[in-house]
Amino acid sequence: MSASEPARKIVGPGWWPGVAAIALAAVYVIALLAAEKQNLIIALLAIGIVAVIGASRFGLLAPVTHSFAWHENGMAFAALVSAVVVAGYFHDEHFVLLLVVTVLLMTVATLGLNIQFGYAGVLNFAGASFFGIGAYTSAVLNGTGFPSILVPLVGGVASALVGCMLLLPVLRTRGHYAAVVTIAFALLFKTFLEVNDVLGGPQGLQVKGMTFLGWSFNDNVDIGPVTFSFYWSYFIVSLALLALAFALVRRLERSWIGLNLDALRLDETAAACFGLSTTRWKITAFLIGNVLIGVAGALFGMVGGFVGPNNYSFADSLILVSILLLGGIGNPWGLIVGTFIVIVVPEKLQTIQEYRFLLFALLVIGVLLFRPEGLLPRTVRRYFPGVRT
């Protein structure tokens, strides 16, 4: 086969199953977020689980997967539109929008973790710490006259810089020993923040909202008779960030960089034998991942308005790793689903708020025992010359 051959025609149901699935998901999300009564929420969750299992039994999921695989750009666009619709429905509900923004930003952070762990196989148990570095950067910089639209970038850079401190131990260790390095760092970071008064100590710091060209993000927006909660401004920025991050991760995966990372993860020794510089690729993955995590953290700091050491502990890093496991290591779409489940469900089910960590941990144990690939496992790489995906 040569590249001069005409592109093969893709046969299949096309867009529609995917778009239908996204639309249905959007309606479901709106229903779930709007529901207040516990019984209703439990009923909705049960319906959701049954629907998904039923759909896979009846073979309805195959065409959906097909659309996602072959028309990904279209699907991404549809997802963006549906996100805006969902947020539009809740245009003046502060807390729901806050949840949505949280999901978006956490997904960006897990995308970063995905590059490190899902693609390159670099263990990072300190994800929440790098998230915290970004958040503290925005706490320190915002309000000092530095253009706050650039603060997330600085947050990402700061994260990467601190990550550089860990490079040597991360590169030299393998397996369990590598795990220790990032775990020790996660604990070190939280303790450091707690004892250090310069960064607010255990009391944390208040973060000023984002301002762009004189307009403060912390004010409600009124367009005609309709009031939009002030979280809407953050929503737009977060959605843009997620779209960018998603596109970045996808492109990265499909490029030769992604290929190198995959080779590195699958068998380090063989990769080294083929001439891949393991050092270089591990560093690349680690730093790029940290930048993404840092950017998300910085933005989240501004949204929440508060940063404190207790937010970025080892337990929070574990939550990020479990989202990765739950959603499917290496699959960005799985991450969106995983983050949504992990963040929204405990918030809505007030009765299980106390039991949140326990149920999480049990869920992850279940996933690890019975479905280690996660909910949406990563698809096999496809190569068809001449076909653009």
Partner 1 sequence: MKKSAILAAVGIAALLLAGAAEAKDKVKVGFIGPLTGGVSANGLGGRNSADLAVRLRNADPKAKYEYELIVLDDECKPNVAVQVATKMAAEKDIVAAATHYCSATAIATVDTYHKFGFPVIVWGAVLPDITYRNNYAEVHRVNGTMINQNDANAELISSLGYKTVAVIHDTTDYGKGHNEYFSKSLEKIGKAKIVGTFGVTADQQDFTTELTKIKALNPDVIYFGGLTPIGVRIRSQMDKLGIKAVFDGTSGIVSDSYIQGLGPLAEGTLAFREGAPTEKLPGGKFFMEKYNEQKYENPPEAYGAFAFAAMNMILDAIEKVGPDRKKVIDELANVKDRDSIVGKITFDDHGQNTVPVITKYVVQDGKFVEWADSEYASGKRKLPGQK
Partner 2 sequence: MPGIRPGMTVELLTPMNAALLAQYVMNGLMLGMMYGLVAVGFTLFFGVLDVIKFSHGDVLTVGAFTALATFAGVNAMGLASPWLALLLMLVIATLAMAFLGMLIARFLVMPLRSAPALNTLLITLMLGTVLRECVRLFYPQGANPKPFPALLPRGSIDIGAFNLRFDNVMMLAAGALVIVGLQLLLNRTKLGLAIRAVAQDEETARTMGINFTAIVLITFAIGSGLAAFAGVMNGLYYNEVNFGIGLYLGVIGFSAAIIGGLGSIYGAILGGFLFAGLQIIGTVLLPLASAYKDVFAFAVVIALMAWRPTGLIREKISERV
In the region spanning residues 313 to 372, those forming contacts with partner 1, defined by CB under 8 A, are 354
Binding of partner 1 by 25 (CB under 8 A): no
How many residues bind partner 1 (CB under 8 A)? The answer is 33
Considering only CA atoms, which of 36, 97, 113, 140 is closest in space to residue 348?
A: 36
Distance, in Å, from the CA atom of 356 to the CA atom of 364, rounded to the nearest integer, reads 12
Distance, in Å, from the CA atom of 151 to the CA atom of 3, rounded to the nearest integer, reads 44
Distance, in Å, from the CA atom of 37 to the CA atom of 7, rounded to the nearest integer, reads 53
Distance, in Å, from the CA atom of 275 to the CA atom of 162, rounded to the nearest integer, reads 29
In the region spanning residues 329 to 358, those forming contacts with partner 2, defined by CB under 8 A, are 354-355, 357-358
Binding test (CB under 8 A) with partner 2, winner from 62, 164, 247, 362 = 362
Distance, in Å, from the CA atom of 311 to the CA atom of 317, rounded to the nearest integer, reads 10
Binding test (CB under 8 A) with partner 1, winner from 49, 88, 94, 266 = 94
Binding of partner 2 by 10 (CB under 8 A): no
In the shown chain, the binding pattern of residues 287 to 316 toward partner 2, with x for contact by CB under 8 A and - for none, equals ---------------------------xx-
Binding of partner 1 by 34 (CB under 8 A): yes
Binding of partner 1 by 218 (CB under 8 A): yes
Binding of partner 1 by 195 (CB under 8 A): yes
How many residues bind partner 2 (CB under 8 A)? The answer is 45
Distance, in Å, from the CA atom of 118 to the CA atom of 116, rounded to the nearest integer, reads 6
CB of 41 to partner 2, least distance (A): 21
Binding of partner 2 by 192 (CB under 8 A): yes
Binding of partner 1 by 58 (CB under 8 A): yes
Identify the residue whose tokens are 């300190």. 126
Binding of partner 2 by 275 (CB under 8 A): no
**Three-class secondary structure of residue 253 per DSSP:** helix
Work out what residue 65 binds among partner 2, partner 1, none; the CB cut-off runs from 5 to 8 Å by kind: none
Binding of partner 2 by 179 (CB under 8 A): yes
CB of 195 to partner 1, least distance (A): 7
Identify the residue whose tokens are 């250090």. 196
- Sign, CA torsion 296/216/137/284: positive
CA angle 304, 308, 309 (to 5 degrees): 140
Cβ burial, residue 381 (10 Å; 0-12/13-18/19+): exposed
In the shown chain, the binding pattern of residues 102 to 131 toward partner 2, with x for contact by CB under 8 A and - for none, equals ---------------------x--------
Outline where DSSP puts E strands in the chain.
Answer: 205-206, 211-212, 215-216, 221-223, 226-228, 306-307
Distance, in Å, from the CA atom of 389 to the CA atom of 372, rounded to the nearest integer, reads 27
Binding of partner 2 by 8 (CB under 8 A): no
Binding of partner 1 by 5 (CB under 8 A): no
Distance, in Å, from the CA atom of 298 to the CA atom of 137, rounded to the nearest integer, reads 7
CB of 214 to partner 1, least distance (A): 19
In the region spanning residues 201 to 240, those forming contacts with partner 2, defined by CB under 8 A, are none
Q: Which residues are paired to 222 by β-bridges?
A: 227
CB of 348 to partner 2, least distance (A): 20
Residue 341 tokens read as 């489940």
For helices 127-141 and 94-113, angle between their N-to-C axes, nearest 10 degrees: 120
Please report, as ranges, the residues that interact with partner 2 according to CB under 8 A.
123, 166, 168-169, 172-177, 179-181, 183-185, 187-188, 191-192, 194-198, 269-270, 314-315, 318, 321-322, 325, 354-355, 357-358, 360-362, 364-365, 368-369, 372
Please report, as ranges, the residues that interact with partner 1 according to CB under 8 A.
27, 31, 34-37, 40, 44, 47, 54, 58, 60, 93-95, 98, 191, 194-195, 197, 201-204, 206, 218, 304-306, 308, 310-311, 354
